[in-house]
Amino acid sequence: METQVRSWDAAGADRAVAVLKAVADPSRYRLLWALSGQELPVSALAEMIGAHVAATSQHLARLRAAGLVDSRREGTRIYYRAAARVRGLLEEATLVANASVDQAAGEDLDAGSVPAAVAQEGPARSRRVARAPRPATEH
């Protein structure tokens, strides 16, 4: 049986990496899951992921730049929805992640040994940088 090998496409690889980078943030991943089932405004999405509207808008801009979400304006509100094949991408990522966990769970462990998938688990870390409070302004 012959396997068809596709030639290397540098531009295609760059586009694929850009898509994977866009999805590589937990908040953006959650936004895509939510949008793969329905169209939602930014305010609802921000509430869903527990972030400010401005931060959510930045995440959505990154997803839009990668071609993963589409938007439409209705009055002052902007509604977002996932692009056509996003659900398949998310489902494949979940299958790969679950296969990795299943494989790690099936490995024989030496005393004190922890599979890599388990060792990397832990509390979610925020990338937010603490900022000094803004000085009060007088009006």
Ramachandran quadrant class, 81 (left: phi over 0; alpha: psi -120 to 50; beta: rest): beta
Q: What tokens were used for 128?
A: 């937010």
Q: Nearest 10 degrees: CA dihedral of 109, 114, 115, 121?
A: 150
State pLDDT tens for residues 61-113: 999 999 999 999 999 999 999 998 899 999 999 899 898 777 777 764 444 44
Please name the fold of domain 12-86.
Arc Repressor Mutant, subunit A (1.10.10)
> Mean pLDDT throughout 17-45?
94
> Over the chain, what is the mean pLDDT?
79
Q: Is the pTM of this model over 0.85?
A: no
Please count the residues of the chain. Answer: 139
The answer to whether the CB of 10 falls within 8 A of the CB of 58 is no
Q: DSSP string spanning 24-93?
A: -SHHHHHHHHHHTT--EEHHHHHHHHT--HHHHHHHHHHHHHTT-EEEEEETTEEEEEE-TTHHHHHHHH
Of 3-7, 10-14, 92-96, where does mean pLDDT reach its minimum?
A: 3-7
